[in-house]
């Protein structure tokens, strides 16, 4: 059985999109190199996080609109999230509404869903950086500049570097009924709000990772949500474990940590169409190493991410199961 698994293991990392990796990773490299040169690692980490998210928009059908659109909406979400996250009730209501809208867009238009997803993630992430208007505006400015710069760089490199395969066709969802839209929006709202409140109740330091996971693993079918949740958990544990091992065993060298973060981001871009566990592995490794480049504890960050992944994934699976067994028996199965 182990031999069979080892034989199949390389297929988990296929297909690998070398073009996407080569085109999108340089933006991350530029942000993190700025941190090395200026020693302003916090600003560099915020910029790199924005660039990392925007870079995934290259494989959208309308990439010229999706990437800048994501950068602008992420900026707005970052500002709003920083301003209102001090009020947990208000923040939960806003996040639940954003998650519901994002989920409904998934049944209407794939590109619009992706832009809304990046904005909702930015909103959740901003909850860790509560600030007044000046602080929120400063952080929003970093997100905007890095996001727009990444979009421009990716589009430029995309013209200069041959793709090697056809541009992806538009992903047109099966037309959804109004009832289906409302039910899926309800599932997303309950999953994200529940994960957020529970993460705060158990005092997770980075509580935003739980509702983020709840939203990302969500699919319109229960069995797909369950599969995606388990794959994300497996990938996150593996990615966090590798980052933690590096943090514990190797001396802290800023340039080496930066290189590993860039390599992780390149892997995530390349694995976007591979098995979700492999993609989650690269994303988690990059996220934890990004904390490390900002002089935060990679060990604590990895531990928190694993806890949040379990909590958020379990919440989405539980809500989807409950709804599918009650009011949505004929849809969410």
Structure tokens at 308: 């949040």
Separation of alpha carbons 183 and 197, rounded Å: 21
3-class DSSP state of 191: helix
Q: How far is CA 28 from CA 35, 297, 302, in A?
A: 11, 20, 21
Cβ neighbours for 98, distance < 8 A, ≥ 6 positions apart: 77, 116, 119, 120, 123
Question: Positive or negative, the Cα torsion across 122, 123, 124, 130?
Answer: positive
Separation of alpha carbons 220 and 222, rounded Å: 7
Burial classification of residue 283, based on how many CB atoms lie within 10 Å of its CB (0-12 exposed, 13-18 middle, 19 or more buried): buried
pLDDT in tens, the chain (333 residues): 555 555 665 766 778 889 999 999 999 999 999 988 888 888 898 999 999 999 999 888 888 899 999 999 999 999 999 999 999 999 999 999 999 999 999 888 889 999 999 999 999 989 888 889 999 999 999 999 999 999 999 999 998 988 766 666 666 666 778 888 888 899 999 999 999 999 999 988 888 889 988 888 888 776 777 777 778 778 877 887 887 788 777 767 778 888 889 999 999 999 988 888 888 889 888 888 887 776 655 566 667 777 888 888 889 888 888 887 877 665 544
């Amino acid at each position: 059985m182990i031999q069979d698994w080892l034989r199949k293991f390389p297929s988990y990392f296929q297909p690998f999109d070398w073009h996407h990796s080569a085109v999108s990773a340089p933006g991350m490299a530029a942000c993190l190199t700025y941190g090395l040169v200026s020693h302003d690692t916090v600003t560099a980490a915020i910029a790199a996080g924005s660039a990392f998210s925007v870079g995934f928009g290259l494989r959208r059908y309308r990439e010229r609109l999706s990437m800048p659109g994501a950068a602008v909406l992420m900026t707005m979400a970052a500002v709003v999230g920083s301003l209102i996250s001090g009020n947990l009730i208000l923040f939960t209501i806003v996040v639940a509404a954003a998650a519901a809208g994002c989920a409904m867009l998934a049944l209407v238009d794939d590109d619009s869903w992706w832009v809304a997803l990046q904005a909702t993630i930015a909103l959740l992430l901003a909850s860790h950086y509560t600030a007044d208007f000046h602080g929120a505006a400063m952080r929003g400015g970093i997100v905007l500049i890095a996001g727009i710069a990444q979009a421009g760089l990716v589009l430029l490199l995309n013209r200069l570097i041959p793709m090697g395969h056809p541009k992806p066709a538009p992903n047109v969802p099966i037309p959804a009924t109004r009832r289906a839209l409302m039910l899926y929006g309800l599932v997303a709202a309950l999953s994200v709000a529940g994960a957020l409140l529970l993460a705060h109740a158990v005092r997770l330091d980075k509580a935003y990772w739980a509702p983020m996971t709840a939203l990302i693993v969500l699919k319109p079918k229960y069995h797909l949500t369950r599969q995606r949740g388990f794959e994300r958990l497996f990938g996150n544990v593996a990615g966090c474990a590798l980052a933690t091992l590096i943090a514990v065993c190797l001396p802290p060298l800023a340039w080496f940590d930066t290189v590993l973060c860039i390599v992780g981001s390149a892997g995530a871009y390349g694995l976007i169409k591979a098995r979700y566990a492999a993609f989650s592995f690269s994303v988690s490794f990059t996220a934890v190493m990004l904390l490390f480049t900002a002089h935060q504890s990679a060990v604590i960050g990895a531990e928190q991410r694993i806890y949040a992944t379990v909590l958020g994934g379990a919440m989405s699976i539980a809500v989807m199961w409950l709804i599918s067994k009650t009011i949505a028996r004929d849809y969410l199965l």
